[in-house]
Every structure is written in structure tokens, then in C-alpha cells.
Amino acid sequence: MEIIYTDKDGTTVKFTEEMAIAAITERDALRTQLSDCRVTSSERYGKIVDIRDKVREFFQERSDGGDDEITCTVDDVNELLKSIGTDELKRLWTVIGTIDFTVQHIYASNEEEANDYVMNELSADLNGDGELYDWQIDIKSTEQD
């Protein structure tokens, strides 16, 4: 079966039934996508307005009206950033701690060789940006299995 469609400018286009079904199906899918885009766009616009209002309120609360400068702490800024759903500002920290360990089943001819093995082979690694300093091993005791 052949379906004939005439455009406004007088151009005649011929479609088969299958072509018409495919075109209608595609049109319906595009309408659904457009509707989804409208919903997403509306939601994002609402978030933008909310963020804009939070940022303005943040600075308005810290302005005394007559001064050209606004003072706030990093914690204040981080609170704002967290409230608008973005990453907080990072600061550098040093963590000091102790690691207790037990290494079992070391094949060695004596205690000193077992201790040397641990001193030479035990390591610590950070999977990130930190740097490990002051690495030291303190062996508290050695026992034969």
C-alpha cells in the first residue's frame, strides 16, 4: 500500500505504510524526548535559581552595607559549597599515628634474620596525594612459631 503526502509547497512525497509507521514512531519518540528535556530543563533551572539565591544570601549576610570588603572563613565557604551541592575547598593536613603489625610465618634461621626481613620488606603506601614521612619500624617482640 502506498500513502501519498503533499507538503505545503506543493511537493508530493510518497510513503509506504512501513515508512509512515516508522516516521510516526520516530516522531512519538522525539516528542517523548522533548518532554523529558523540558522536565529536566525546568528542574535544572530551579536548581540554578536556588543556588543563585543561596550565594546572594551568603554574601548579603556577611556584608555590612558600607564596606567594600566581605570577610568569611573557609568553613563558611565550605558550608555554602556543600549546600549548593559542589565539592568543598580542601586544606592540607598532617596525620600522625601508629601502626601495629604482626607478620607470621617468616622462614628464617634465627630471630635477627626474621627481624631484618621485616625491617627490609615491610612497607606502607598511600593511594592518593599524601606523602609519607618519618617512616619507622619498631619491633616489640619476636617469637618462634
Q: Taking Cα atoms as reference points, which of 141, 139, 136, 140 lies closest to residue 96? A: 136
pLDDT tens for each residue of 21-57: 898 999 999 999 999 999 999 999 999 999 999 999 9
Relative orientation angle of helices 17-62 and 74-83, to the nearest 10 degrees: 150
The distance in angstroms from the start CA to the end CA of the chain is 89
Q: Can you tell me the distance from the alpha carbon of 128 to that of 136, in angstroms, rounded to the nearest whole number?
A: 20
Q: Give the global pTM.
A: 0.54
In the chain, domain spans: 2-62, 92-145
pLDDT tens for each residue of 101-127: 899 999 999 999 999 999 999 888 888
At residue 145 the predicted structure's pLDDT band, cuts being 50, 70 and 90, is: confident
